[in-house]
Structure 1
Amino acid sequence: MNIQNSPLTRKLGSYVVLSDNDLDVLAQLHKRRRIFVPGVDMIHEGQKNQPAYILANGWAISFKILRDGTRQIVDIQVPGDFLGLRSLLFRTSDHNIEPITRVEASVVQAGDLFDAFTRTPRLATAVLWAASRDEAMVVEHLVGLGRRDAAERTAHFLLELGARLKLVGLAKLDGYDCPLSQHVLSDALGLSAVHINRVLRQLREEGMLTFRNGHVSFDDFDRLVAFADFDVAYLDDYAPMLK
């Protein structure tokens, strides 16, 4: 693969200027590749000594199963994301990760990552930035679940996905391809599938957003941003989306 155009390189390169040595180290992290199919967990809660993955192609979800069998999706993973990075440090996974499309990912063992950080501290700084950005998104998701109404929450979430995808070259200002079903959206946003359907219809009828046939279109981007109170500052590097 061309490491300079990989989603992870694009993302980390928005934070630091990557040297040839940094790129060589990143290429080493990508040397072991695996294919995963939808519906089969890549990582499951309670699993020990599990490697992390760098998502190269495809989408995945992180979730926890509740006692009654329902699930809460805690994040959506897109190309360029680390999957299970926390498990390398905790040694036991605290959530499940499952592909929702065919996924191609690089396998990263703890020793690989620690060696990479030793060889290039600048890369370690960039990965720490990426982890901090992920934490900022979790905070926003908590705010959304607790304080935004259903339409605002949905609009904010789809804008955030667009910003994340644009960073790695997979979205444009007017929208992006999105494989998420209404059931996945409902589990991520704490709403029923029926409610999600109603909200998407509302956003479409009000001329702000259309989600149809696996594609999200921003019909009135500026009005959608204002409606969702979408302040891009919490994503740190995504200001170009608003230009």
Structure 2
Amino acid sequence: MMQIKPLARKLGAFVALTDAELSVLDGLHKRRRTFVAGRDLVHQGQSDQAASILISGWACSYKLLEDGQRQIVDFQIPGDFLSLRSVVLHISDHSIEPVPDIEVTEVNISDLMKAFSDTPRLATAVLWAASRDEAMVVEHLINIGRREAEVRVAHFLLELGARLALVGLGSKAGYACPLTQYLMADALGLSSVHVNRVLRKFREGFVTFYNYDRLVKFADFEMTYLDQIGPLLA
């Protein structure tokens, strides 16, 4: 029996993939590579790299400013594409760093285009996933620019939980989380001291939602921008 990989689980939330489509998607997972935490697998300005599918572990995409400051744009979890936009544009406008050690599958653009040609519904599902990622970036801008620190952190943790639930790695109870307060600070536009103040009882390694519904109300967390994720939370 074919093992359902995280990407298939995520895309399956939008399109009920057939066995044939699942087989095509599974065929993309041929060239596997591992990368150690803290060493970039993609550098800002790099060209001619393949797209990758994250199989296990977390990664962060970030940009460096001239003064050395870092802004984390997003975190990638299992089932996410890495560098898909960079392959289309032929150059990466950001760097990607593994948070813990990760495993990825490298996908040549020619193989991806053939998969889309053979299974148009699969291409539609990937387009949905890319559109959802764009919606998340918009929400992240609002998070950094307009939300108070406490709400910002709560919204961030709820979004991660919803994304992880989609691929079977999280629920309303919580989820395993490898992020340090320093990484969260770089993503949220806060100092690590400020994050530490907000998350006084944060224990690295796991996020627990003691009152999920109350936190959703506090953060004004509306999951419509994540499209199909809401109904899958359990």
Question: 1:163-182 residue pairs with structure 2 within 5 A?
Answer: 163-182=162-181
Counting aligned pairs with the same residue, the percent is 62
Q: Kindly indicate whether residue 90 of structure 2 is the aligned counterpart of residue 91 of structure 1.
A: yes
* The 10-residue stretch of structure 1 (143-152 or 20-29) with the greater mean CA deviation from structure 2: 20-29
Distance in 1 between residues matched to 2:232 and 2:179, nearest whole Å:
21
Question: 1:139-218 residue pairs with structure 2 within 5 A?
Answer: 139-201=138-200, 211-218=202-209
Map of 1:65 onto structure 2 = 64
Partner AA of 1:227 in structure 2: F
> Normalising to structure 1: TM-score of the pair?
0.94
Distance apart, 1:240 and its partner CA: 2.1
Distance in 1 between residues matched to 2:78 and 2:114, nearest whole Å:
23
Distance apart, 1:109 and its partner CA: 1.2
- Go from structure 1 to structure 2 and tell me whether the alpha carbon gap of 1:241 and 1:25 turns closer, same or farther (over 3 Å shift): closer
Partner AA of 1:77 in structure 2: Q
Partner AA of 1:212 in structure 2: R
Distance in 2 between residues matched to 1:77 and 1:151, nearest whole Å:
23
Distance apart, 1:226 and its partner CA: 0.5
* The 10-residue stretch of structure 1 (19-28 or 131-140) with the greater mean CA deviation from structure 2: 19-28
Distance in 2 between residues matched to 1:65 and 1:231, nearest whole Å:
30
Distance in 1 between residues matched to 2:16 and 2:175, nearest whole Å:
27
Distance in 2 between residues matched to 1:135 and 1:41, nearest whole Å:
23
| Paired residue secondary structure (1:236) | helix
| Paired residue secondary structure (2:37) | coil
Distance in 2 between residues matched to 1:216 and 1:136, nearest whole Å:
24
Distance apart, 1:4 and its partner CA: 4.1
Map of 1:207 onto structure 2 = none
Distance in 2 between residues matched to 1:218 and 1:76, nearest whole Å:
20
Does structure 2 conserve the Cα–Cα contact (< 8 Å) formed by 1:38 and 1:102? yes
Map of 2:51 onto structure 1 = 52
Q: Which runs of 4+ in 1 moved over 4 A?
A: none
Map of 1:136 onto structure 2 = 135
Residue of structure 2 aligned with 1:236, choices 198, 205, 227: 227
Map of 2:216 onto structure 1 = 225
Q: List per-residue Cα deviations over 1:106-130 (Å, max 9, x = no partner).
A: 0011111111111111000000000
Distance in 2 between residues matched to 1:148 and 1:110, nearest whole Å:
38
Map of 2:27 onto structure 1 = 28
Q: List per-residue Cα deviations over 1:76-119 (Å, max 9, x = no partner).
A: 00000000000110010110001011101000111111111111
Does structure 1 conserve the Cα–Cα contact (< 8 Å) formed by 2:179 and 2:204? no
Distance apart, 1:21 and its partner CA: 1.7
| Paired residue secondary structure (1:237) | helix
* The 10-residue stretch of structure 1 (97-106 or 19-28) with the greater mean CA deviation from structure 2: 19-28
- Structure 2 unaligned regions, length at least 5: none
- Go from structure 1 to structure 2 and tell me whether the alpha carbon gap of 1:117 and 1:240 turns closer, same or farther (over 3 Å shift): same
Partner AA of 1:218 in structure 2: F
Map of 2:38 onto structure 1 = 39
Distance in 1 between residues matched to 2:4 and 2:26, nearest whole Å:
11
Distance in 2 between residues matched to 1:3 and 1:65, nearest whole Å:
41
Computed over aligned residues only, the root mean square deviation of the Cα atoms, in angstroms, reads 1.2
Does structure 2 conserve the Cα–Cα contact (< 8 Å) formed by 1:3 and 1:9? no
Partner AA of 1:142 in structure 2: L
| Paired residue secondary structure (2:40) | coil
Does structure 2 conserve the Cα–Cα contact (< 8 Å) formed by 1:133 and 1:235? yes
Does structure 1 conserve the Cα–Cα contact (< 8 Å) formed by 2:180 and 2:204? no
Distance in 1 between residues matched to 2:198 and 2:149, nearest whole Å:
7
Distance apart, 1:242 and its partner CA: 5.5
Q: List per-residue Cα deviations over 1:108-156 (Å, max 9, x = no partner).
A: 1111111111111100000000000000100100011111000001000
